[in-house]
Structure 1
Amino acid sequence: MDRAQATAAAARDLVVERPQGLYCPPGDFYIDPWQPVERAVITHAHADHARRGHARYLASAEGEGVLRARMGADIELQALHWGEVVEHRGVCISLHPAGHVLGSAQVRLEHTGQVWVVSGDYWLSGHEAEANPTCTPFEPVRCDCFITESTFGLPIYRWQPQAALFAEINAWWADNAAAGRASVLMGYAFGKAQRLLAGVDAAIGPIVVHGAVEPLNAAYRAAGVALPPTHRVTELPKEALRRALVLAPPSVAGSPWLRRFGEASDAFASGWMALRGARRRRGVDRGFVLSDHADWPGLQRAIAATGAPRVIVTHGYEAVMVRWLQEQGCQAGAFRTEYGDEAIEAEASGMEEGTADGRDPGEAAR
């Protein structure tokens, strides 16, 4: 392709980079913009993808409750069911499950014979029979261009089967409960906490959640996701707290709120726990490798399933993924975005939904 042909092809791109975020020129709207815009299509309600201040929002019906809980109940929101198509300025828009968190969507765009898919964040296991039980599983969408995340886009990231992981978590909790100490498990309040709740054995003991977690639990339950009973710290006697599993955002580390549990074992749940030294840097007793993003085999599976001859990589190990794609004969490039990773989201959760000292929001108000 010569320069003139490349310029003409670029002019037909359905998604381009702008200072405000990823922009669809023919449709005049943005996808997960990081600056306020008139029309925003939102893939999911994590803070790095869903920002306040947009005039109009479009998102999945499955994630409406979570998005309103985080952006405000009064936002102007159009909610689409999976596969439902709306047309705006000649661009056909539909949303398809991403399997990342409740309501997470891939955005399918069709215009003048082209089909592009913006994945947002997604979870697809390298183990074919597995799915995230707290949201609709990832759905491959055939397209001409696939815009993929690459948070864990290195071959070292390979998640173990979920059954094996939760067996480890349950054994850790049971051992602590038998010794009379609480098990404090830290992870992002939206998505990670609910994934943990859905996987642990609630028969081991009571489950206590931080005030940043419980509103999200309510949104998941309202959407029909089965979660075990949970308690606030003030609802249980001290004896019960010594057998409890405590789910909280990372901001509680070293806080007065955490000291209520007395002797406790702490752990952190994140895909970054796959890195040697990550647990030590976090200063926790245990690290459990659990992510709501696709691992290296999952990314490969997802990209292959789209059949896309062109792939654009965002946030994560873009250079590695682009090089690998080009070696496979794919036309590949990268977009620079302001989307964060699990660690950044986890740190943000405590400040956004809790308080700086780890107290429940309700406690801080008293």
Structure 2
Amino acid sequence: MKQPLLAFNDKGIYCARANVYLDPWRPVTNAIITHGHSDHARWGHKNYITHHQNVPIIKHRLGDISVTGKEWGETFSVNGVTFSLHPAGHIIGSSQVRVEYKGEVWVFTGDYKTEDDGIATPYEVVKCHTFITECTFGLPAFKWLPQDEVFKDINAWWAQNKAEGKTSVLFGYTLGKAQRLIKYLDTNIGKIYTHGAVENMTEVVRPMADLPPTTLITRETKKEEIAGNIVVAPPSTHGTPWIRRMAPYVTGSASGWMAFRGARRRRAIDRGFVLSDHCDWQGLLESIRATGCEKVISTHGYSDIFSAYLRELGYDARTEHTQYEGETDEGESKTPAEKEEDEA
């Protein structure tokens, strides 16, 4: 029986012919990393390969590592297998990995979205025979509004809170979501303040993105300075002593999970904004169709339901278990150093 070009094992997605792993979750010799979120970029590999925009991000998160940066579409071969990275549109520096051997092409998406957010290089369709896709929001119930409409709501919410003498605290993942929020917040309303974990990552991303000024909240920052302005913070700070110093405040969360009222209620969020760095149901289906693929492997998310639907459409579709988390509704996976930052 012919060995598949890419296989799933207990360490990650493995190309045996090249002895290369894609986003492995256990230490390996050679790892191609799609993006900087810590469920995809883990510590302990001997050699890292990633897009050059992701190099400073994973160095910030993982420390002193051996990493090589590649350009979009730049090919590199290992034992006859050709690899290249292509924009995934998920967050800045996020890639899809194209793998080719003897005319057979596989694509691993990592995490991706098709809406251009103005920060990440927009998603690129890559033709292939087999498509390995996430399906974090792989249910018909998930349908995103254009981000312009979402940010209009966020800024109107901030302005209303300010008029009522309250500080707006907006939760977003430290890498990706936080910078997307910061970029489109209306600084005519007030100043943007940040939690330390958000500020540190934003400073890493700032040289690669056009972002407005932000002000770090320190122990010396007075409550009166923050009043009426907006604070961008990680979800994990909700309910901590750190946030209480903002009182009186109103909380908001920007996440795809805010499409479910129950998620907002469970986390005791005052206002939910449906904004995701992943594809919605239609985005997933359109992306798969555009690749021209015959086989689809679904990883994290609603993979069983999504694969069953793809089989109804005529695809050779199946699921594979991974340790990728997608967009959780409780927070984001973090390195130990970032957990310390959150507690600061």
TM-score after normalising by structure 2: 0.96
Q: Is the 8 A contact 1:184 1:246 kept in 2?
A: yes
Are residues 286 and 352 of structure 1, via their aligned partners in 2, closer, same or farther at CA, if it must alter by over 3 Å? farther
* Aligned pair partner of 1:66 in 53, 57, 61: 57
CA distance in 1, matches of 2:264, 2:336: 22
* Aligned pair partner of 1:229 in 207, 213, 233: 213
Q: Is the 8 A contact 1:251 1:351 kept in 2?
A: no
Partner of 1:200: 185
Q: Is the 8 A contact 2:197 2:234 kept in 1?
A: yes
* Aligned pair partner of 1:86 in 63, 66, 76: 76
Matched, 1:353 2:326: no
**Partner SS state of residue 202, structure 1:** coil
Seq. identity, %: 48
**Partner SS state of residue 47, structure 1:** coil
Report the Cα offset of residue 183 of structure 1: 0.2
Structure 1: give runs of 5+ residues left out of the alignment.
1-6, 126-130, 361-366
**Partner SS state of residue 277, structure 1:** helix
Partner of 2:307: 322
CA distance in 2, matches of 1:298, 1:50: 24
Are residues 140 and 345 of structure 1, via their aligned partners in 2, closer, same or farther at CA, if it must alter by over 3 Å? farther
Where in structure 2 are the equivalents of 1:260-271 lying within 5 Å? Answer: 260-271=245-256
Q: Is the 8 A contact 1:48 1:345 kept in 2?
A: no
Partner of 1:103: 93
Moved over 4 A (4+): none
Q: Is the 8 A contact 2:28 2:44 kept in 1?
A: yes
Structure 2: give runs of 5+ residues left out of the alignment.
none
- 2:10 aligned partner, one-letter code: P
- 1:184 aligned partner, one-letter code: V
Matched, 1:14 2:12: no
TM-score after normalising by structure 1: 0.90
Report the Cα offset of residue 348 of structure 1: 2.8
CA distance in 1, matches of 2:229, 2:197: 18
CA distance in 2, matches of 1:202, 1:236: 19
C-alpha RMSD of the superposition: 1.6
Q: Is the 8 A contact 1:96 1:106 kept in 2?
A: yes
Report the Cα offset of residue 71 of structure 1: 1.3
CA distance in 2, matches of 1:212, 1:359: 9
1:268-291 alpha-carbon deviations (Å, 9 max, x no partner): 111011113111101011111111
CA distance in 2, matches of 1:69, 1:347: 16
CA distance in 2, matches of 1:82, 1:275: 36
Report the Cα offset of residue 237 of structure 1: 4.3
Report the Cα offset of residue 328 of structure 1: 1.4
Matched, 1:149 2:134: yes
CA distance in 1, matches of 2:312, 2:239: 47
Report the Cα offset of residue 341 of structure 1: 2.5
Partner of 2:111: 121
Partner of 1:182: 167
Matched, 1:239 2:230: no
1:86-106 alpha-carbon deviations (Å, 9 max, x no partner): 111111110000000111000
Report the Cα offset of residue 302 of structure 1: 0.9
Report the Cα offset of residue 37 of structure 1: 0.4
